[in-house]
Amino acid sequence: MTLSRRDAIRLTGSALAGLSVCGLAPGNARARPPSRPQPWPDRLVEMPLRDRVEFPLNPDGSAPEYPESEAGPIEGVIWRYTNGEPPEIEFDYRRMAVKVDPRGMAKLGGTLTFEDLERLPRVSHVFLLQCGVPTPRGIVKWTGVRFRDFAEMLEVQPHTVEKGYCRFVGSDRYYVDEPVPALMHPQVMLAWLMNDEPIPPTNGAPLRLIMPFRYGARSLKAITEIHFGTPGLPQEPFPG
């Protein structure tokens, strides 16, 4: 899990310390009531640091692929803004409805359905999902379509492929921005199956972005919106 600047501002020192431990089972973490916000220091003070986990990559920057025999569950799951539980949405990937806003940078836009994705070549890969701390973590078989095939279906314009950005918004309103050139890497997927079964709601149903050469927080769960744009994408309001 990467910690962005906006997350750091929202978190208190005690919350950061809790994240640095990150050793509680997901069920225990969800059962704990939210802590009362602490006053923010009125001066610069020492704050706890997290032990970063090294993320293994190939020399060319791609993610290592694992044999299917090593695929299994993800240990620990984080939903930032919803008390650890995925928001109630339509979890059946066959009924997904994802808003696609091309903002003039692709020919097609509107609502993406599973029927659209079914027309594209289906791929499966076994990757390590590793956050910046020990958990969440897991070697997982993902099945879906390559983002590059999705982008070609939309007829994303050449200048966007070269210099554009794409924003993925999840059902909890957490979002990530990624440069389109990185998304066009053949390992990047839009996945709806995890270990040959529909992705569970906890792990990001109905549709999840898989960027295996980034830390796990960048593989956004439960995609509800996809926006194309320039580097100056509008700021999303904070959840809640």
Does residue 101 surpass a pLDDT of 50?
yes
Tell me which residue of 128, 1, 132, 146 sits closest to 73, measured CA to CA.
Answer: 128
Q: What is the pTM of this model?
A: 0.80
> Which residues, including other chains, have CB under 8 Å from residue 105's CB and lie 6 or more apart?
156, 157, 159, 160, 164, 228, 229
Q: Domain coordinates of the chain in residue numbers?
A: 52-229
Q: CATH classification of 52-229 is 3.40.50.1460, yes or no?
A: no
pLDDT band (50, 70, 90) for residue 14: very low
Residue-wise pLDDT tens digits, 28-83? 334 455 567 789 999 999 999 888 898 999 999 999 999 999 999 999 998 988 98
Residue-wise pLDDT tens digits, 120-132? 999 999 999 999 8
Average pLDDT over residues 93-99: 98
Does residue 19 surpass a pLDDT of 60?
no
Cβ atoms 120, 135 nearer than 8 A: no
- Distance from C-alpha of 165 to C-alpha of 162, rounded to nearest angstrom: 9
Please give the structure tokens belonging to residue 45: 């003070």
Q: What is the pLDDT of residue 84?
A: 86
Please give the structure tokens belonging to residue 128: 């390590």
Separation in Å, CA 65 to CA 58, 69, 70, 71, 181: 10, 12, 10, 11, 21
Q: What is the pLDDT of residue 56?
A: 94
Does residue 112 surpass a pLDDT of 90?
yes
Average pLDDT over residues 154-168: 96
- Distance from C-alpha of 180 to C-alpha of 158, rounded to nearest angstrom: 10
Please give the structure tokens belonging to residue 187: 């390992």
Cβ atoms 63, 127 nearer than 8 A: yes
Q: What is the pLDDT of residue 2?
A: 45
Strands 98-101 and 223-229: parallel
> Which residues, including other chains, have CB under 8 Å from residue 221's CB and lie 6 or more apart?
79, 86, 170, 171, 203, 204, 208
Cβ atoms 150, 190 nearer than 8 A: yes
Tell me which residue of 103, 137, 138, 115 sits closest to 226, measured CA to CA.
Answer: 103
Q: What is the pLDDT of residue 160?
A: 95
Residue-wise pLDDT tens digits, 179-231? 999 999 999 999 999 999 999 999 999 999 999 999 999 999 999 999 999 87
Average pLDDT over residues 133-156: 96
